[in-house]
Amino acid sequence: MTLTIDDRCKNLVQDLQLGQPEDVTNVVPLTGGVASDIARFDLNGQTLCAKFALEKLKVVEDWTAPLHRNAAEYAWLQFAAETYPQGAVKLFGRSQTQHGFAMEFVDGPDVYLWKAALLASAPDKGEAAQVGRFLGMLQAASARPDFDRGAFNNRDDFRALRIEPYLTFTAGRHPDLEAPLNDLAEMLYQADQVLVHGDVSPKNIMFRASDPIFLDAECATMGDASFDPAFCLNHLVLKAFHLPDSRETLLTNIESFWGAYVPSLDFGNPSEIERRITRLLPALMLARIDGKSPVEYLSDDNRCHVRAVAVGLIESPEDRISQLLTRLRDSFL
Ligand SMILES: Nc1ncnc2c1ncn2[C@@H]1O[C@H](COP(=O)(O)OP(=O)(O)O)[C@@H](O)[C@H]1O
Ligand SMILES: [Mg+2]
C-alpha cells in the first residue's frame, strides 16, 4: 500500500524522535521537483520540511533512480552546513528505512527562490556572483586531501541521473554528435576531483539575506569540476532565450558567476576547467531540448534556436566562456 505524504511525515517524525505522529499538522506538499515526495509541516510550533526519494521519477520518459541517493543528498547538505553555515539548511536527521530526512523549512520576508526572481525579471541583487563564489568554495573544500569522500562514491547513480538521461540519450537522437557527446559522458563518469552537487539550478537555490542556500543535492557524487558550473550556466542561457527583455542581464549574470567562481578555486587549472565547461555547456543545452528532461518553458521557435546554437557550439567549440557568450549574443542578432 502506498503511504500518503501525511503518513510519511508522521512516520519520519516518529523515527527521528522529533515528536509524536499526532504533533504533525498542516502537511502541505511542495511542488517543483520530479524526483521526490516533499512536504512542509508544522511540529510543535516549528515549520519543517521532509523529503523522501522516489524510485520512479515523474517525467514522461521511463527513468528510475536508486533510493539511496537520499543519503548522498543528506551528506551533501551536511557538508555545505559545515563549510558555509549561513548558506545551509538546518538539518534534523535522516531515516534510512524511509529514504527520507527532515530539515528546516526556509521561509521569511527576505527569502525567495532564485528561479522565481529570474522569471519575474526582479532587480538583480548579485545572485549569480554569490552562487559562483559559493560553488567555487565548496569545490575547493572538497578537493582538499582531508575531505571525507565516503558518502560520495556515487558515479553509477550520477550516470543514471545525469550522464545517461542528458548526454547518452541525446547522443542517441543526434548520431552526428555521438562522438563528442559520448566523450563528455565518459569524462564525467571517470572524474572524481571534486564534490559535484549535480542539480545547481535556480529552482534549487533559495536566497536568504543575500546568502544562497542550495537544495536538492540527490545527485551528489565525486566528479568533474566542470559539471555544476556548466549545469547552472545552462539554466541562465536557456532563460536568455526565453526572456528577451532580461537577455542581457542573464548573459551578464554568466560573466558575474564566472568572475566570482574562478577566484574561489585553489585546485586544478581554471583554464582547463573553463575549456571543459565550454564543451559541456552546449551539450547540456541540447540535452534540455532533445534529452529525457526537456525544458518546459520554451516555445517551438526557441527550441529550434537553442538546438541550432548548441549543435554549432558542439561541432566547433570555444575555449573561453567569453567567446561562447559572443557566439550566443551573435545568434540573437
Ligand atoms: N527546506 C526547504 N525550505 C523551503 N522550501 C523548500 C525546502 N526544500 C525544498 N523546498 C522547495 O521545494 C521545491 C522542491 O524541493 P527539491 O528539494 O528541489 O525537490 P525535488 O527533488 O523534488 O526537485 C524546491 O524547489 C523549493 O522551492
Ligand atoms: Mg528540485
- The pLDDT of residue 326 is 98
Q: Give the confidence band of 274 by pLDDT, cuts at 50, 70, 90.
A: very high
Ligand nearest to the CA of 59: 1
Cell numbers linked to 109: 520576508
pLDDT of residue 31: 81
Q: Check residue 85 and report its DSSP letter.
A: G
Sign of the C-alpha dihedral, residues 140, 144, 150, 152? positive
In angstroms, the CA 255 to CA 234 distance is: 13
Question: For position 58, what pLDDT does the model report?
Answer: 63
Count CB neighbours of 267 within 10 A. 15
Given a contact cutoff of 8 angstroms between Cβ atoms, the answer to whether 302 and 241 are in contact is yes
Helices (H) and strands (E) in the chain, counts: 12, 10
**Structural domains of the chain, ranges and CATH numbers in brackets:** 1-105 (3.30.200.20), 107-333 (3.90.1200.10)
- Shortest-distance Cα residue to atom 10 of ligand 1: 30
Q: How far apart are CA 66 and CA 214, in angstroms?
A: 22
Residue carrying C-alpha cell 532565450: 241
Question: Which of 38, 114, 200, 205 best tests ligand 1's pocket when mutated (most atoms within 8 Å of CB)?
Answer: 38
Q: Inform me whether the pLDDT recorded for 114 exceeds 80.
A: yes
Average pLDDT in the 90-104 region? 95
pLDDT of residue 294: 93
CA of 319 to the centre of ligand 1 (A): 35
The reported pLDDT for the residue numbered 62 is 62
**Beta partners for 194?**
223
CA 202 to chain centroid? 8
- Please tell me the predicted confidence (pLDDT) of residue 121: 87
Confidence label for 119 from pLDDT (cuts 50, 70 and 90): confident
Indicate if the pLDDT at residue 1 is higher than 80: no
> Is 29 near ligand 1, meaning CB less than 6 Å away?
no
Summarize the confidence of residues 61-77 as an average pLDDT: 80
CA 199/CA 128 separation, integer angstroms: 15
Mean pLDDT of the region 134-145:
97
Which of the residue ranges 45-59, 134-148, 222-236, 278-292 would you say has the lowest mean pLDDT?
45-59
What percentage of the chain exceeds 90 in pLDDT? 86
User: Which runs of consecutive H residues, i.e. helices, occur in the chain?
Assistant: 5-15, 69-83, 114-119, 127-142, 155-158, 169-173, 178-190, 227-242, 247-264, 270-290, 300-315, 321-331
**pLDDT per position as a tens digit, 15-65:** 999 999 999 999 999 986 667 889 999 999 999 999 998 876 665 566 566
For ligand 2, the distance from its centroid to the CA atom of residue 213, given in whole angstroms, is 12
170-213 residue pLDDT tens: 999 999 999 999 999 999 999 999 999 999 999 999 999 889 99
Q: Is 222 helix (H, G, I), strand (E, B) or coil?
A: strand
Helix axes 247-264, 321-331, angle to 10 degrees: 170
pLDDT band for position 87 (50/70/90)?
confident
Ligand 1 pocket, 261 CB below 6 A?
A: no
Q: Does the beta carbon of 204 sit less than 6 angstroms from any atom of ligand 1? A: yes
Average pLDDT, the chain: 94
